[in-house]
């Protein structure tokens, strides 16, 4: 971890994993209540949560069971950080497993399998009660989960949406509007989406349990920038519509999406 105004040496450095670190996310400080923390996911199948003030060992870990096959962790994301006593981290794996770790209770809150490797995932906001979670996967598809209502049998309700006609590498929600998000394609394209809520967000099932109700997604725009995958993307928190992306053709590109304030 670096202070951009003091680049002489890192302010936090640790040997986090035995092999490649595939994913990293941060929470706390400016975004989210509670202590500043960093989550990492690696090829060793482990997910570690680090507090920069405690450098020796992670404050929480999710590791493969002894003797079980090791699955590559491809993505991690913080969420539910609306108070000092609430925080979760979601992790996606190469076999389609997704696990939601409750960092306060110290246990798995929910897990599922989405059939394809999970390249990226993100909550619509880190610093609110869990609301929506988008997972991007192999085989040209992403899933959007309503995280407000957990059914004891069916879990969280979701919709599945085809996109990009190639691997969907990642997702980023617009900071100024959490219902608008961008997905990144393996064919070098970006696709802009908007989620619309249903008239009611949950219904009562015959078994007496509440089940979440999904709304709909609409594709607002799409554009191809390269023949190579868009590996990373980020919005500017101050200037609505300004964004930067990294592409595997060895370029970094700055783009502007206009009229987002009219959505």
Instruction: Please state, in angstroms and rounded to a whole number, the distance separating the CA atoms of residues 218 and 84.
Output: 35
Sign of CA dihedral 27, 29, 32, 36: positive
Global pTM value: 0.92
pLDDT digits (tens, 9 = 90+) for 194-210: 999 999 999 998 888 99
Q: How high is the mean pLDDT of the chain?
A: 93
CATH architecture entry for 12-119: Beta Barrel (2.40)
Predicted pLDDT of residue 166: 96
What is 131-263's CATH superfamily?
YVTN repeat-like/Quinoprotein amine dehydrogenase (2.130.10.10)
Enclosing H/E stretch for 184 = strand 177-185
Predicted pLDDT of residue 31: 66
User: What mean pLDDT comes out for the span 77-89?
Assistant: 92
Sorted by where each begins, the domain ranges of the chain are 12-119, 131-263
Instruction: Please state, in angstroms and rounded to a whole number, the distance separating the CA atoms of residues 99 and 79.
Output: 13
pLDDT digits (tens, 9 = 90+) for 218-244: 999 999 999 999 999 999 999 999 999
User: What mean pLDDT comes out for the span 90-112?
Assistant: 95
Who has greater pLDDT, 30 or 191? Answer: 191
238-to-27, 193, 241, 253 alpha-carbon distances in Å: 18, 20, 9, 18
For the record, the structure tokens of 164 come out as 């990009």
Is the pLDDT score of 80 beyond 90? Answer: yes
Predicted pLDDT of residue 256: 96
Instruction: Name 243's bridge partners.
Output: 235, 255
């Amino acid at each position: 971890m670096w202070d951009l105004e003091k680049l002489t040496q890192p302010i936090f450095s640790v040997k986090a994993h035995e092999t490649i670190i595939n994913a990293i996310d941060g929470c706390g400080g400016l975004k989210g209540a509670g202590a500043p923390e960093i989550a990492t996911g690696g090829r060793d199948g482990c997910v570690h949560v680090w507090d920069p003030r405690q450098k020796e060992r992670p404050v929480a870990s999710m590791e493969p069971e002894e003797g079980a096959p090791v699955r590559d962790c491809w993505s991690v994301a913080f969420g539910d950080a609306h108070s000092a006593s609430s925080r979760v981290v979601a992790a996606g794996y190469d076999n389609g497993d997704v696990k939601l770790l409750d960092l306060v209770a110290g246990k798995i809150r929910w897990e599922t399998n989405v059939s394809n490797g999970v390249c990226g995932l993100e909550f619509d906001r880190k610093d609110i009660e869990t609301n929506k979670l988008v997972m991007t996967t192999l085989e040209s598809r992403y899933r959007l989960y309503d995280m407000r209502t957990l059914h004891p049998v069916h879990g969280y309700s979701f919709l599945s949406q085809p996109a990009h006609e190639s691997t969907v590498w990642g997702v980023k929600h617009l900071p100024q509007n959490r219902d608008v998000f961008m997905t990144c394609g393996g064919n070098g394209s970006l696709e802009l989406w908007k989620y619309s809520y249903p008239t009611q967000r949950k219904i009562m099932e015959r078994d007496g349990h509440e089940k979440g109700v999904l709304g709909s997604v609409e594709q607002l725009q799409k554009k191809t920038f390269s023949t190579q995958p868009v590996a990373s993307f980020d919005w500017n928190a101050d200037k609505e519509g300004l964004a930067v992306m990294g592409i595997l053709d060895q370029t970094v590109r700055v783009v502007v999406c206009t009229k987002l304030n009219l959505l």
